[in-house]
Amino acid sequence: MKKLFNNIQTLRSWRYSVVILCCLSLFFTAATLAPKGEKIRIGFIPLTDCAPIVMAKELGLFAKYGVDVEVTKEASWASVRDKILTGELQGAHCLYTMPLSVYTGVGGKAGSEMYVAMMLSNNGQAITLSKDFCGLVGYKQFAKVNASVNTVKQKKEVTFAMTFPGGTHDLWLRYWMGATGIDQKKVGIITIPPPQMVANMKVDNMEGYCVGEPWGGVAAAQNIGFTHVATQDIWQHHPEKAFVVNKEFATGRKEDMKKVMKAILEACQWLDVPANRKKAAAILAKPYYVNAPLAVIEARLLGSSDLGCELGVQKYKDDYMMFYRGGNTNLPRKSHAIWAMAQYVRFGYLTTPPDYAGIADKLILDDVYREVAKSMNVPIPDDDMKPFTIKLDNVTFDPNKPAESLKLYKPVAFK
């Protein structure tokens, strides 16, 4: 009997040991997978193309790669700029041209450094015109634009809005104006944060604006304006939003930055699977993200644009908002940085040409992106620093010869 009792005690002890070992194993596995280090704060503006940041969080991809990330909704691009530079944000969903605008003094204190770590999206912005233009100019009727502006000017001052000086929306707006012959000295151009565009048009503060979705679609849905042109009709597969970081994060926490980039890149891949877009739209529509009608976000995310002004529905098949595009979206290209700075010279933001190549080399972290992409077996495009043609005016820009390329444009100026 005593021997049997001892055997039972031994068996119980063995079982307890197994349980304890299993618990310890689970604890250490969880500890290994759990995010380590200091919290990382990444900002976003409520636009549909904040999706890679939002979905990296919602899908648990930041945690998967071992980083503790908080995503924060920001009020304006100026706020994003300031918080990145002060370190309140380590990075953000951002206009890809913002670091160039800030560094050259167009949109901030000259010499302030922000870095483009990777691209987040192509396409998906729009120029919206108010109902004043209904019947005067329709979808992509570029030959009628200048005359329609002059007609509206006979009744009222004409003002257009963009979201940040030297930002992408500013450049798409000015590029469109230059190509269609609008005298940029004779119209107003103001800065309005993206979520406030619709409300400002509703109270007649401007007659047109350029901004990212869903705010073009919302204006059409509310019957206060219509989509005159999508930005992919200006420049197909144009660079748009980027993951932008500050100097301390890029240099002092480089490994964490690469982990964040991996999570975002995986989210971009997920987003470009068509079956995932409705799920993404439902999440983006929530009040703490974009806070806009689900129907509008979903439709334009799927490439269907109800233009408004009884212009019907425009369907985009392979050039609506893209986040990965087989690896072609995410490489930050120095050639695109040089193009943006050349436009600053063209539009009078800069009176002398900047150090195009030097600034692009400093602010574009293409080497880091290549390292991340290679580790994830993501194809890396080989088109950087090659000439490219912009569809709207058929001008070919050579990033190796920016000054010569600028001579191909008609002279423009703005006040």
The runs of H, that is alpha helices, within 127-245 are 145-153, 168-180, 197-202, 215-221
- CA-CA-CA-CA torsion for 336, 341, 347, 352, nearest 10 degrees? -150
Question: Six-digit token pair at 123?
Answer: 């396409």
DSSP string, 339-408: HHHHHHHHTTS-SS---HHHHHHHHB-HHHHHHHHHHTT------TTS-EEETTTTEEE-TT-HHHHHTT
Residue 53: strand, helix, or coil: helix
Taking the domain 36-122+240-293+321-392, which CATH number applies? 3.40.190.10
What pLDDT tens digit does each residue of the chain (415 aa) get? 444 444 444 444 544 443 444 444 434 443 344 445 799 999 999 999 999 999 999 999 999 999 999 999 999 999 999 999 999 999 999 999 999 999 999 999 999 999 999 999 999 999 999 999 999 999 999 999 999 999 999 999 999 999 999 999 999 999 999 999 999 999 999 999 999 999 999 999 999 999 999 999 999 999 999 999 999 999 999 999 999 999 999 999 999 999 999 999 999 999 999 999 999 999 999 999 999 999 999 999 999 999 999 999 999 998 999 999 999 999 999 999 999 999 999 999 999 999 999 999 999 999 999 999 999 999 999 999 999 999 999 999 999 999 999 999 987 765 5
Counted residue by residue, the chain has a size of 415
By the 10 Å C-beta count (0-12 exposed, 13-18 middle, 19+ buried), 211 is classed as: buried
| Whole-angstrom distance, CA of residue 40 vs CA of residue 407 | 44
Residue 241: strand, helix, or coil: strand
- Asked if residue 353 lies in contact with residue 403, where contact means CB atoms within 8 angstroms, the answer is yes
In the chain, where the domains are located: 36-122+240-293+321-392
Give the residues across from 189 on adjacent strands.
160
- Residues 140-173 as b or e (16 or more Cβ within 10 Å = b): bebeebeebbeebeeeeebbbbbbbbbbbbbbbb
Q: Which of 399, 129, 414, 362 has its CA nearest to residue 250?
A: 362
